[in-house]
Structure formats: structure tokens, C-alpha cells
Amino acid sequence: MQSSKDIILALEKVLEPGKIKTDTESLDNWGRDWTKIYDVAPLAIVFPKTTEQVQAVVRLANELEFALVPSGGRTGLSGGAVASNGEVVVSFDYMNDFLEFSASDRSVKVQAGVVTQQLQDYARERGLYYPVDFASAGSSQIGGNLSTNAGGIKVIKYGMSRDWVLGLKVVTGAGEILELNQDLLKNNTGYDLRHLFIGAEGTLGFITEATMRLARSPRNLTVLVLGLNDITNTMDVLKAFQAKLDLTAYEFFSHEAMSHVLAHNDVPKPFESEAPYYALLEFEAEAQAQMDDAMGVFEECVENAWVLDGVISQSETQAKNLWCLREGISESISVRTPYKNDISVVVSKVPDFLNEINRVVTEHYPDFELIWFGHIGDGNLHLNILKPENLEKDEFFRKCEQVNKWVFEIVARYQGSVSAEHGVGLVKKRYLEYTKSAEEITLMKGIKAVFDPNGVMNPGKIFD
């Protein structure tokens, strides 16, 4: 490996002036993500503007034997964008152009650094819709979304990020530029390498451009929040509403989660009565018939004692306020040093799965406050454990490591995933075996060796 000075000098030759940062503040800012639990120590931050510049950086990494870490919006929660060992961080902040739009194909080609909300706004201005959405849409970038196959709040209808990718341009770990799938809807010519890079967390190569599908804009989105009698009623309510309506979202949150939102934000309580859990449903009410169906199902749910109370949005403002009850949870609990888990099981198993985890955690640590919320319509649960005020942070995290083992043993027994949408990164890699078999992990390592023979691309993430 060359000296730090030689690496910086070589990088300066392939990048535009001023597109390398080595000051302490920049290294700390671009060297981490939202996990905030790892020490960071990158060598430098580089800001390429083209695929060719990314390629030049990757070739230098192979030649001079230094490692690379990708950096998008840095909103990840698994440590996938953490640089702790003298890596060069490749930021896509300056690769943020919209390259090509086709109304007839309902598609747009973007660079990897385009922010999710920018893509949503771009589509809206053209009478179309980009449906992948989540709380970090204002800062997350498309390249990072695809590298973790981000999901969010609309998966029940629209699927994951990978479902909206027509084509990719990538730079492999060997420094090759690949154009994958040629933006085709139908292409049945062997292995679809595009999908290897989606969800790979930058360990095979870096996504530099993506052609994204767009959809028609939804009409009169209406939100319904229901107070549930018991967590098992989430499945009863889901089945009843899906029999009549095409839901665009089906979220849930606990009473404890909503209490933090109400205390932290200027958001009205949905209704006076209280419930242990709440469901948030969204659907298109294009005509009075959909509203009539919704109210009919609501009355059925009340009659069956699945639902204690409910409210339906009568305006766009009210719909936004109801969504705040769900979307404001992460921010409202952030002051309590939450320990986060992002897990999933088959939808029908969610109630038993959640109850079993509740029993195990509260039995061992009754002073831990558990905050549940998530995308229950696709089986994705977010378990947040809040640090007791009288417990030191290090001791809290040590206990949570033990909780992880119990939780992931339950995940394995339910044949679920230890990471539903945030990726593996550093946080989950020691638990990969709870979801992937030894044979699968061996094959994954073999795939990495093909695309990244010298191990320069985001080393130490997903597996060692």
C-alpha cells in the first residue's frame, strides 16, 4: 500500500480541483451514517462527478491498494457507509443530475446522487409518481436506496426499490463499467446482473446511474387510523380491508410510540379513546364507492371488536397529520438513545412473532421500554428499545447485544430476516447466519470475489 500522501496526490490527478477533503470535520461528517456508534477514520473524502471519474478512483484503489467506502445521503442504520480504517470515502453528492426522461416509457435516468424527494418532485411535475417513500426521503440518495434495496411505507402496493429499476450503470470492484439491462421491460437473456448490485451495499461495485420506472399519480389518497383491541387484530383488519380496497399502505405503531410523537410534535391526537396498538391505512378514494366500502369495513371491524375507534381523513392536511403519527416516531424517540432492530417475517406470522419477542425482552429487562412500529402490511417490524435514564450507554448497548441474540433466535425460528430494509453493513453481519445458510454465505463471498477480486469495495460490510 502506498503512503497517504501518494494516494492523495494520485487522486488529485483524476478528480476536479477542490473535490477532495481531508479536514477533520469533513472526515467525521462523510465517514459515518446514522448509526453514530462507530469511530470513524477515513483517509479522505472524494467527490467524483462522472462515472469515468468513479472508474478512475476504483482503478487507483486496486493499483495502490487502498479501500473504498460509498457515501450517499448517509441515512443508513446498519453502518454500511462507515469508514473506520483509513478508507477513501466516495461521495456521490455531486453526481445529482437528471439525465434523460421518457414520458412514453414512464422512465427517468438519474445519477446516483439524486435525492429521493427530488425524484418524487420531478415525477410529480410531469404528472407521474415515484412511489418508493420513507421518512429519510429528503436526504437519502437513489444510489444508497438501491444499494440497500430500500422499501418504506408503500411496499404493500408498490414493492421495494428493486421493483422500479429498469437499468443500471455500475463500476465494478475491478474497475469495469457495466451497463445492465439496457432499460428493457423484457430481457430474458440469462443472468440479470442488475439485481446483484441492488442490495449489495457497494461491496461488488458502485452504482453511478439508474433508470427508474415511474407510475401514474394516485388519486385522492385517504388515510384511516384505527385503534386496535389487540395486536392479533392487525391481521383481521388487513384481511377485511384488502377484500374491498387496494391499499397503498398498511402501517402500525404501539400506544407507547404514539405517546412519544404527541409529546414531541404539535400533532393532534387521532381520537380520545386509547388502544394498545394502532393501524394506519391509506387507499385511493377515486369515487364515493371507495369511501362507502371503507366505512362499511370499519363498521364490520368495530362489530367484531377488532377496532375500538377510528378516524378518516377529510382533507389533505388531516391526512398529513395522521401520517405524522407514524412518520414522526423515529425523530421523537431519538433523544432516548434507541437501540434499533429492523426485522421481518411472513405477514401472517407477525402477531405471534411480536408477542414472543415482547415476552422474552420484558422477562429479562422489565425496565426497558419497547417501541414497536413498522410496515406490518409487508411483515416488516421496527423494534426500538429505549435506554433507561439511570443506565449508562455502554451498559445499555451491552445488554442490547444480548437482546439481539434472543430476538434473532426467534427470527430464525420464524424463518424471517434479521434485516428487512436497512441492509447488513457492520451492525448485522455477525447475525447474517440467522437468515442465510452457510452455503448461501459461501456463494455470496464467491460472487464478491468475481466482481471485486482485490477486496477494495466497502470491505468488512455484510461479511468479513
Q: What does each of the 464 residues of the chain score in pLDDT, given as a tens digit?
A: 689 999 999 999 999 999 999 999 999 999 999 887 889 999 999 999 999 999 999 999 999 999 999 999 998 889 999 999 999 999 999 999 999 999 999 999 999 999 999 999 999 999 999 999 988 899 999 999 999 999 989 999 999 999 999 999 999 999 999 999 999 999 999 999 999 999 999 999 999 999 999 999 999 999 999 999 999 999 999 999 999 999 999 999 999 999 999 999 889 999 999 999 999 999 999 999 999 999 999 999 999 999 999 999 999 999 999 999 999 999 899 889 888 899 999 999 999 999 999 999 999 899 999 999 999 999 999 999 999 999 998 899 899 989 999 999 999 999 999 999 889 999 999 999 999 999 999 999 999 999 999 999 999 999 99
Cα distances (Å, whole numbers) of residue 165 to 81, 96, 129, 218: 22, 17, 14, 20
Contact 103, 126 (CB under 8 A): yes
Domain ranges in the chain with CATH number 3.30.70.2190: 221-330
The class level of CATH for 221-330 reads: alpha beta
380-386 and 339-344 beta bridge pairing: antiparallel
For residue 116, the one-letter residue type is T
Cα distances (Å, whole numbers) of residue 189 to 172, 181, 182: 21, 9, 12
Cα dihedral value 90, 93, 94, 100, nearest 10: 110
- Residue 446 neighbours by CB under 8 Å, 6+ apart: none
**Is 98-216 a CATH 3.40.50.300 domain?**
no
- All three cell numbers of 170, joined, read 455500475
Determine the number of helices (DSSP H) and then strands (DSSP E) in the chain.
Answer: 15, 18
**Nearest CA among 123, 47, 143 for reference residue 91:** 47
Contact 141, 202 (CB under 8 A): no
Strand ranges, E, within 360-401: 369-375, 380-386
**Nearest CA among 379, 433, 378 for reference residue 404:** 433
Q: How many residues does the chain have?
A: 464
Which of the following CATH numbers is that of domain 4-93: 3.40.250.10, 3.90.1150.10, 3.30.43.10, 2.40.30.10? 3.30.43.10
**Nearest CA among 228, 224, 215 for reference residue 244:** 224
Domain ranges in the chain with CATH number 3.30.465.10: 98-216
- All three cell numbers of 4, joined, read 497517504
DSSP character string of 410-436: HHHHTT-BS-SSS--TTTSGGGGGGTS
Within 90-201, residue ranges assigned H as helices are: 116-125, 142-147, 155-158, 194-197
d(CA 73, CA 360): 35
- All three cell numbers of 431, joined, read 447475525
pTM of the model: 0.93
**DSSP character for 47?**
-
Domain ranges in the chain with CATH number 3.30.70.2740: 337-438
Count Cα neighbours of 400 within 13 Å in the Cβ-side half-sphere.
22
The class level of CATH for 337-438 reads: alpha beta
d(CA 402, CA 394): 13
Domain ranges in the chain with CATH number 3.30.43.10: 4-93
d(CA 410, CA 431): 12
